[in-house]
Amino acid sequence: MKALVLSGGTGTRLRPLTHTGAKQLLPVANKPILFYVIEKLKACHIENIGVIISPETGREVRKALGDGSRFGVQFHFLEQDAPRGLAHTVQVAEDFLANDPFVMYLGDNLIGSPISRFVERFQQRKSDAHVLLKGVENPSAFGVAETDEEGNVKRLVEKPKVPPSNLALVGLYIFSPEIHKATRAIKPSWRNELEITDAIQWLVDHQRPVTSEILESWWLDTGKKDDILAANTAVLDDWIQRQIDGEVDSLSQVNGRVQLGKGSKVINSTLRGPIVIGEGVTVENSFIGPFTSIGNQSRIIDATIQHCVLLEECQVVGINRLEDSICGRKSIVRAAGNKSNGHRLLIGDDSVVEVK
């Protein structure tokens, strides 16, 4: 079995962060989202992976993933010239995929459970498409499925005004080679895109077996600022264990599941997990609260931070309360005068923010 990972797109909903980088490479718990996707595929013993990239961010994705040796896989980079829909990515990858079944995984989606059992069920049921579904409060924002009592898919609709159910399509699909016939047969939607929902519906209409199952774990589509923060919280809560590799002085307290990287120093401060702090970070006279990730070489001085994602080389100085925030690489948030009250920020790379 092969895999097709979608890592294109422009990430407009995460600007300004995505003005300078691919959204799939934004870190969650100090690791790019895309890396979690690759690791889950590797855990299924899938080692031949096609990666859809865009002209805007493809070079960055190539550099981050490398040749695949760090993951124990082999990458094949495939450029999609413009956002033309998920079904179009299958067309782009058709030569690579050939006659093999494959997992299609959106590179900005995180799933809380292993995916190996979904692959096994696809193989056991001999489906042409196997989809994961999750009940959501706002199904009109997603592709939505209608199923029978046995989980066979009867109908799929992309972002319907009147949803037939509350079951949204999770960003992971498993296909047989029959999907290629479907992507070639469908027409662009009103969005001028080839929708994967239309391709799967084509399979249903032609009496091909399309099965589903409900995802019981959490699932996050990290397309917006609050999604990144929610993903960071979920990963820290579920997957992080205590590991102190840096230095903590006698005036500091480290409580709970905290990871502190090599070369980092905690001086007269309190850390309350779950937290991930990278390498070469200085935390001084500060409080770092739960569900916070701090990238390498950052400096936190005279500040209180919680429920934040700070990328590499950030500086937060003299801020009384920073919460629910994402700060880009080399950004600086500092007090202009006395310590400030609480703030919630989304700032891009190399930004400087002074608050009163």
**Packing angle between helix 33-43 and helix 58-65, nearest 10 degrees?**
50
What's the pLDDT score for residue 190?
A: 85
For the chain, 356 residues long, give each residue's pLDDT as a single digit of tens: 999 999 976 555 554 554 556 788 888 999 999 999 999 999 999 999 999 999 988 999 999 999 999 999 999 999 999 889 999 999 999 999 999 999 999 998 999 889 999 999 999 989 999 999 999 888 888 889 999 888 899 999 888 888 889 999 998 999 999 999 999 999 998 888 999 999 999 999 999 999 999 999 888 877 777 888 988 999 999 889 999 999 999 999 999 999 999 999 999 999 999 999 999 999 999 999 999 999 999 999 999 999 999 999 999 999 988 998 888 888 888 887 655 555 655 555 656 555 65
Cα–Cα distance between 324 and 86 in angstroms, integer? 31
With contact defined as beta carbons under 8 Å apart, do 163 and 139 qualify?
A: yes
What's the pLDDT score for residue 22?
A: 77
Residue 352 corresponds to which tokens in the numbers above? 């400087």
**pTM (two decimals):** 0.87
What's the pLDDT score for residue 199?
A: 95
With contact defined as beta carbons under 8 Å apart, do 22 and 61 qualify?
A: yes
The bridge status of strand 102-106 relative to strand 167-175 is antiparallel
